Structure 1
């Protein structure tokens, strides 16, 4: 059984179980808490639920927050959206304002945008008694266990090895020789750093491949389009392949190639597993993309913060591997793309939001790349 097939099967709950849970209006633990001991009803102390993220227009972040909304519905609540647009000051100000409004009765999942910004957000939540889960970006010296229960967890992904896998696929596709270009994300972002490092590591194995240029396009479709157009003008047919650090930028890269009649002629590897790029993999215009299952991540990060807030579990009783952990990273090639699209995109996947660490691939480590 392929890893993708196994993952799809394990990640899908029965429709009957899902409908029964929905009919209750609560997750099982939350329902029990609402009833209190011996089934006696008590006043609800449900926290406000919020997700802080870059933009709903980006397919990756749209999938993240869709997972958050799915979890919120499972406990009969609405989700507050804190959209920061890549602005460190805005997300911190919005979190502080919501903590003030709710008196600290907040369960928050958030991407801090830049790694150093995570500390300020965590400390604001801890100071007011809120509960926060972070994803992707934090500094190496910031740890949930240093903040008791309020900093619930940090979820990230090990991009270094998957980036090596995609880079090797790209370099093999061009016959192990010639020039390639790379387009990266925000330079200070953990995934941007690791994905570039993975490419650079693999380039050491291919002395006949030259990295003609690397430019940051800040995860932006429009900026990637401009960068790719400039590279095509500068290097022309010297470009034999493109390493793209995420799917949003790949869409801009593809448009630049189409404008020159080169789409499908120059192989591209990508990252994020979004619907549009999975379709491009199916069509042969992109070699592969890597899914970090953002829908699951969006729901599970918020679920952990919520259940810590309502007392379903005590984060400080958990091992470090449950507080800083890696999510799944799944390479999708043309061979797998149709199955992935049918099972993870065309239909909404269903997850048990209380099975917190089912898809964890282990505790985070801090090996320098």
Structure 2
């Protein structure tokens, strides 16, 4: 069943549009990069941006989107949803109101934009499996191929969290003397990871030789807990998301080993640009392939060898220069299942 009859064709007047970007928390550096990227896009088209922070609450996430829709303008949305299960209700609310939306990272498997609505413009994914495998291998190598680790997932109902964790476990197969002591889900949250790490430090003590996490924010929380315990120099740390604080630690010392970049600034700008171009009629969604409407976009690993290239945050103009290379310039193939 589709919602084709409930939607509007593209060609909205710019004055009728409300740009919206939705992030899960304002304590996660990646999500702050995302918001900055969305702001860069909004500035480039001369429209105000509403940033919704869901604070990890799916009901609050939907309620804030519905309240924005009720204000009267047609919403143009890009969202990093908390859970995959959240996506259908959000897409329904946006598209039935005549708005346009792109989702990123999370959606239910088999829930495809082309089966739902042309106003559900696209879903953008990033290969979490390769990210987890690369960061895991880098961490285990830095540990000398032996020792115990603690691992942090993000949100359990989250494809990137699952993919990154599965990729790390694949890397583990080549390191038989590295053992996972404990795995916890910290909701991409630095403070939660800090609190959990303090408990795990009490439980496992000096058995812990490495920390792997599906985001820099959680790795940084664990790093702070080891600092407070006076043990940060004894342990290696691995992150994901290419945040400024993680980059500085990779550059300055031997213990924070790596991170992985999907480019939060670019993600926040690109998702909004794609939805906006469809809304104003510049992008003809009917001419996109299924792969373009549920596609995978490029990423890269960062360690000591290339960290200095990543340390300078981009300006708004630099973010938009990348987006203006083309909406599909970083497209590499269909979404990872």
CA contact (8 A) 2:21 2:77 kept: yes
Pick the aligned partner of 1:304 from 257, 274, 283.
274
1:152 deviates by 0.5
Provide the aligned C-alpha RMSD in A: 1.9
Please show how residues 211-290 of structure 1 align to structure 2 within 5 Å: 211-284=180-253, 285-290=255-260
Following TM superposition, by how much is the alpha carbon of 1:44 offset from its aligned partner in structure 2, in angstroms? Answer: 4.9
Structure 2 partner of 1:4: none
Alignment of 1:66-105 (within 5 A): 66-102=36-72, 105=74
Deviation at 1:45, TM superposition (A): 4.8
Q: Deviations over 1:260-317 (max 9, x none)?
A: 2222331111101000110011112310011110100100100111111111111121
Contact residue 150 and residue 183 of structure 2 kept, 8 A: yes
Indicate which of 287, 309, 313 corresponds to 2:283: 313
1:187 partnered with 2:160: no
Alpha-carbon deviation of 1:321? 2.1
Larger radius of gyration: 1
Please tell me whether the aligned partners of residues 52 and 108 of structure 1 are also in contact (alpha carbons under 8 angstroms): yes
Match of 1:6 in 2: none
Partner of 1:7: none
Alpha carbons 2:149, 2:180 under 8 Å: kept:
yes
- Give CA-to-partner distance per residue, 1:197-223, whole Å, 9 cap, x none: 112222222222211111111111111
Counterparts of residues 326-341 of structure 1 (less than 5 Å) = 326-341=296-311
Any unmatched runs of 5+ in structure 2? Answer: 1-10
Q: Does structure 2 retain, via aligned residues, the 8 Å contact 1:48–1:102? A: no
Which of 284, 300, 325 aligns to 2:295? It is: 325
Provide the rounded CA distance (Å) in 1 between the counterparts of 2:203 and 2:91.
44
TM superposition shift of 1:165:
1.1
Q: Does 1:357 align with 2:305?
A: no
Q: Which residue of 1 aligns with 2:3?
A: none
* Higher percent of residues as strand: 2
Contact 1:245 1:271 in 2 (8 A): yes
Given that residues 277 and 289 in structure 1 are in contact (C-alpha distance below 8 angstroms), is that contact kept between their aligned partners in structure 2?
A: yes
Shift of 1:346: 6.4
Q: What SS does the aligned partner of 1:102 have?
A: coil
Q: Which runs of 5+ in 1 are unaligned?
A: 1-32, 35-42
Compare 244-253 and 62-71 and name the one that shifted more.
244-253
**Secondary structure of residue in 1 paired with 2:334:** coil
Name the CA distance, whole Å, in 2 between partners of 1:44 and 1:364.
31
CA distance in 1, matches of 2:336, 2:193: 31
Could you tell me how far 1:327 is from its partner in structure 2? 2.4
| Residues 141-156 of structure 1: pairs in structure 2 closer than 5 A | 141-156=110-125
Cα gap change, 1:131/1:249 in structure 2, threshold over 3 Å: closer, same or farther?
A: same
Contact 2:25 2:31 in 1 (8 A): yes
Aligned length: 324
SS at match of 1:350: helix
Does the residue aligned with 1:138 lie in a helix, a strand or coil? coil
Give the Cα separation in 2 of the matches to 1:252 and 1:161: 23
Following TM superposition, by how much is the alpha carbon of 1:71 offset from its aligned partner in structure 2, in angstroms? 0.6
CA contact (8 A) 1:297 1:327 kept: no
Q: Is the 8 A contact 1:126 1:147 kept in 2?
A: no
